[in-house]
Structure 1
Amino acid sequence: PLGEAMPVSGDYTVGQRVEHPKFGVGIVRRIETLATDHKLVVDFDGAGEKTLLAKFAKLTKL
């Protein structure tokens, strides 16, 4: 919705489309802040929902 701040984690925002080398294209659904990284919950078109650490995820923003 307009006017509401979307959660932002480093380079990623909720609702952003991303691509993973193994899981394919997906949408960032949730972001959790950890001490030294961010945990991304991504809903992939073909692989379902996956939880990834941002620094190891190897995601490409679309």
Structure 2
Amino acid sequence: MFVLNKKRKQSGRSTDVIRIRLTTLEIVEELAEESGHSKQEIMDRAIKYAYENLQWEEE
């Protein structure tokens, strides 16, 4: 489950450009609007969640 808690300040960030599909951006924008979090915060948390829950599969 992907959970968004109330907004709080964070530090230790850098700026990079990552290209994503338009449909993915639309999902992130919807989450940002509904939650009050920035798109950056949502992407950061989603990527951390995916990394922490990653399971490698053999081909």
| Shorter-normalised TM range | under 0.3
Higher relative contact order (CA 8 A, sep 6+): 2
Larger strand proportion of the pair = 1
Q: TM (normalized to structure 2)?
A: 0.22
Q: TM (normalized to structure 1)?
A: 0.21
The structure that has the greater radius of gyration is 2
